[in-house]
Amino acid sequence: MAQDAVRYKVIVIGGSAGSLDTILKIIADASMTNNIFYIVIIHRKTSAESVLTDLLASQTTLKVREVEDKDAILPGYVYICPADYHLLVEDQNTFSLDSSEKIYYSRPSIDVTFESVAEVFGDSTIGILLSGANADGAKGLSKIKQAGGYTIVQNPLTADVDYMPKQAIELFKPDAVLNGDKMSALLKNLSA
């Protein structure tokens, strides 16, 4: 794995119902190595006041920010997809937000972000799909795999809601299927 370590620039994490605890664990163990940044996409209500940024910021020494349209992409950050927008990467330097139709009843869509990251960052991507109640993320994660990125799916047996990870496993063979508490160790190896 050491020969591949320097190539990763982005770790993109998608989840829905039951994914927050695993996301918090991954972010708590995250460190800035090799110019990596993180993108977090979580299905969440649009009407609620979001405390997600503060919650994640309390778990890490990395900078945490909710993305605004045309934000610059910088290493050492955890970027959070805002509620009610699809998050895309325009190029290796810039994000964009989109309010087009919902996918799998969700905006943000994990698929949209995963596919966009795969297109721009290709084999420099680590994609992670966690617990959730719909199929969003499976197709996008397969695009990351097709682009040469590394793909991780939460073990459905340990997911609070197993439908989302099961959909990915049925669609393609991810590089790793892991319990949520085992992901940080693998990420440290991949990004060391």
Q: Which residues of the chain have pLDDT under 70?
A: 1-6, 32-34, 46-50
CB atoms closer than 10 angstroms to residue 148: 13
Choosing from 43, 142, 162, 184, the catalytic residue is 43
Q: Give me the helices (H) in 13-107, please.
A: 20-28, 52-57
Write out the E strands in 55-105: 63-66, 77-80, 86-91, 94-98
Is 136 assigned a catalytic role? yes
Tally of domains within the chain: 1
Residue 156 domain boundaries: 8-191
Q: Looking at the domain assignment, is residue 156 inside a domain?
A: yes
CATH number at residue 136: 3.40.50.180
Going by C-alpha positions, the residue among 140, 120, 124 that lies closest to residue 41 is 140
Q: Looking at the domain assignment, is residue 26 inside a domain?
A: yes
Q: Looking at the domain assignment, is residue 35 inside a domain?
A: yes
Choosing from 16, 124, 184, 191, the catalytic residue is 16
Q: Looking at the domain assignment, is residue 3 inside a domain?
A: no
Q: Looking at the domain assignment, is residue 170 inside a domain?
A: yes
pLDDT at 47: 57
Q: Looking at the domain assignment, is residue 71 inside a domain?
A: yes
Choosing from 136, 142, 162, 184, the catalytic residue is 136
CB–CB of 164/136 below 8 Å? yes
- Helix (H/G/I), strand (E/B), else coil: 189: helix
SS3 content of the chain, % helix, strand, coil (to 5): 35, 25, 40
Q: Looking at the domain assignment, is residue 1 inside a domain?
A: no
Is 86 assigned a catalytic role? no
Q: Looking at the domain assignment, is residue 88 inside a domain?
A: yes
Is 19 assigned a catalytic role? no
